[in-house]
Structure 1
């Protein structure tokens, strides 16, 4: 009897020990921006349990723009960060490694004028104040649009930089005549500023000014936890392909779980402003150099606007191997 009891106790301890080991999840602090082009796949993965399937415990931490998020990444407050154009900024300066691309933000940014300005075209902003967030997707688009129309963004206009919620509020109140923003903020503009005019949007400069967003890992996390990054890629790929193959169903899930405060029609509008590829198609874009080219061309804009110094080849801060190893190992 004692022997049986002993064997039983040993078996229980073994089972409990296995359960504890098997259940020990890798904890990841994730900085993100609350805009569909940035966090769409993330919320699918979170709510469908795809990250959990990979043994990941993801802690979402919200930021209002990519600049403070990258500062948090640099300081160790977050392990990975999901963002737009800023993946071409801080990583080029040695802060973090880009390891995963979300989508192409082909029409997420836009330039707006208040009705009393009587502005009808981009040239009408010359000599005026424009509110936006410097060093972000909106700023990259604004610089590109102005340059294409013979306007120097550093000399011919006054850029008033503030967080995007503040920039849009200032525009709505009439404190600034123009704002350059991103989805879904145009929803507020249309609702609260009767007669507001959209002077331009990013699609007018695609693909020469294509902006891509994605995931950046801190240098330490990239160096020490590539196995965890591969798990993130596996979960992301499942969510991404679901989003691409079943957009209506996926968008309804995202709306109900993360964007219930805005109309579903606005989520669909945001979806139409971005381009998502299947994971298989992303493999081609990684391998043929397209992704690296797009990262590099946005980086050149950051050099032109003075956000960074010299241009750095993306191969120094973009690591495609993690994604490619996961996809080819499927």
Structure 2
């Protein structure tokens, strides 16, 4: 074999090897079917990580599906069409019923849940709410907040009439005057503010923090969690990189998110949503995982959900939330 033949054969082998390697590398990525809500407090880290390659770097192929509520997300998870999900306060609900394992917290929805009232219908204080109708979506972040706000202001939740609707319908009912109050989550507050100039924000969840905190986060299907801890550890690493970038470079991150994923939302409104959530760096979260703070906050929401559903026997947060995976992964 002369030199020219040798080079040709070698080049062909290299090209062939590269061709074979490409599919192998692609196949090596772990496909994860992930559901999410399209609201900044839930999908901010997801899209930042997707756009910046944070999850790709960890060998993950996230197959994303958008849902309208946390209830729909858990139905899909329980039904087997999702491996993991990211949601709001509902992350404290179904896992307490043995349906899903919580392994990662996104943020605290410190002011994302809000209570708006119409003074033109005689409601200007919590006392005025007695006997009135309040529209909201039960079993959600807004519902958890509303219950806490009523009790904190000496109004028994039984003294008001809850009107359970999807959030768009609840907000429409408030705008039309069909109900004098609505418990919502951002960004629906912007619509209320624009359509009902005289509407008053009576309270938001920040009034009860840090004694109480409504958190959003991630849960995995039980069987998936048991069999795919290494994949979930990689998801945590990708999330951590995206999360810390959002904190350190919030202006750039929000600008990118608005252009790529929230084009119908003015940047000023997106910044308002960002201000309504409380984020911690991945390292700062470690202390709250380790000292039981996260578990205690999850349990507060769980206690509400279980009492509201009349369930007396349930799985406590100390069992359905596994802090060890996060702490080990980011040691």
TM range (shorter): over 0.9
Q: CA deviation at 1:42?
A: 0.8
* Cα pair 2:118 2:124 within 8 Å, conserved: no
Q: How many residues align?
A: 327
CA distance in 2, matches of 1:60, 1:166: 26
Matched, 1:104 2:111: no
Which of residues 9, 15, 18 is equivalent to 2:18? 15
Kindly tell me: are residues 308 and 73 of structure 1, through their superposed partners in 2, closer, same or farther at Cα, counting changes over 3 Å?
farther
Q: CA deviation at 1:311?
A: 4.8
Q: CA deviation at 1:240?
A: 0.6
Matched, 1:141 2:165: no
1:261-298: CA deviation from partner (whole Å, max 9, x where unpaired): 11111111111111101111111111111111111111
Kindly tell me: are residues 270 and 209 of structure 1, through their superposed partners in 2, closer, same or farther at Cα, counting changes over 3 Å?
same
Question: Aligned with 2:123: secondary structure?
Answer: coil
Matched, 1:128 2:132: yes
In structure 2, the residue matched to 1:182 is 185
Q: CA deviation at 1:11?
A: 4.8
CA distance in 1, matches of 2:43, 2:267: 16
Q: Name structure 1 gaps, 5 residues minimum.
A: none
Which of residues 319, 322, 328 is equivalent to 2:322? 319
Which of residues 278, 281, 306 is equivalent to 1:278? 281
* Cα pair 1:135 1:307 within 8 Å, conserved: no
Matched, 1:295 2:298: yes
More deviation, 9-18/85-94: 9-18
CA distance in 2, matches of 1:165, 1:29: 27
1:287-327: CA deviation from partner (whole Å, max 9, x where unpaired): 11111111111111112322644353212111112211221
Kindly tell me: are residues 249 and 8 of structure 1, through their superposed partners in 2, closer, same or farther at Cα, counting changes over 3 Å?
closer
Q: CA RMSD in A?
A: 1.8
Which of residues 197, 213, 216 is equivalent to 1:194? 197
More deviation, 110-119/285-294: 110-119
* Cα pair 2:237 2:329 within 8 Å, conserved: yes
In structure 2, the residue matched to 1:83 is 87
TM-score scaled by length of structure 1: 0.94
Question: Aligned with 2:216: secondary structure?
Answer: strand
* Cα pair 1:65 1:164 within 8 Å, conserved: no
In structure 2, the residue matched to 1:260 is 263
Question: Aligned with 1:285: secondary structure?
Answer: helix
Q: CA deviation at 1:73?
A: 0.7
Q: CA deviation at 1:36?
A: 1.1
CA distance in 2, matches of 1:32, 1:94: 20
TM-score scaled by length of structure 2: 0.93
In structure 1, the residue matched to 2:210 is 207
